[in-house]
């Protein structure tokens, strides 16, 4: 047993510099809400984000900070679009994306020509102190 413990310790020490990617689970439309939860996350490059679509028919689509609604089909350049995910009739689709940079990404639902977005259905990946989620939400409600 002593030998085996030494072997495991050596393997773990050898692997110390490696960092493990994290997954961030985001619920979309929980309890029939027009909301993402949580509303912001701060992942690192290589981490993944899984959008779990729980009710209705929504998307998670990247858009601009200043003029969020509606997000463009396909998302903004360098972003992503889950497409419309139908959670009606007991479906519970999920879509996972991988974080490839540390830049802020502004996300909203593009359903109903931006109506969900203007209701505040928004989400931020790596917002900053100068570009906050709160300001993004205010921009969405006003756009
Ligand atoms: Cu929606």
Q: Is the pLDDT of residue 2 over 60?
A: no
User: DSSP string spanning 57-78?
Assistant: EE--EEE-SSS-SSPPTT-STT
Q: Is the pLDDT of residue 55 over 80?
A: yes
Residue 130 CA to ligand 1 centre (angstroms): 27
Residue 108 CA to ligand 1 centre (angstroms): 8
**pLDDT of amino acid 105:** 98
Domains of the chain: 19-142 (2.60.40.420)
Residue 84 CA to ligand 1 centre (angstroms): 8
Tens of pLDDT, residues 65-119: 999 999 999 999 999 999 999 999 889 999 999 999 999 999 999 999 999 999 9
Residue 47 CA to ligand 1 centre (angstroms): 24
Residue 7 CA to ligand 1 centre (angstroms): 52
From CA 132, how far away is CA 1, in angstroms rounded? 53
Residue 103 CA to ligand 1 centre (angstroms): 24
Radius of gyration of the chain (CA): 19
């Amino acid at each position: 047993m002593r030998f085996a413990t030494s072997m495991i310790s050596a393997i773990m020490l050898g692997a110390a510099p490696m960092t493990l990617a994290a997954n961030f689970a985001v619920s979309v439309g929980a309890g029939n809400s027009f909301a993402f939860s949580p509303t912001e996350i701060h992942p690192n490059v290589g981490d993944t984000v899984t959008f779990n679509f729980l009710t209705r028919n929504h998307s998670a689509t990247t858009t601009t900070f200043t003029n969020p609604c509606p997000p463009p089909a396909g998302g903004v350049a360098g972003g992503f679009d889950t497409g419309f995910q139908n959670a009606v009739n007991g479906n519970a689709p999920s879509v996972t994306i991988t974080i490839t940079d540390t830049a802020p990404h502004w996300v909203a639902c593009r359903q109903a020509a931006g109506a969900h977005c203007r209701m505040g259905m928004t989400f931020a990946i790596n917002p900053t102190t100068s570009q906050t989620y709160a300001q993004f939400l205010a921009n969405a409600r006003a756009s």
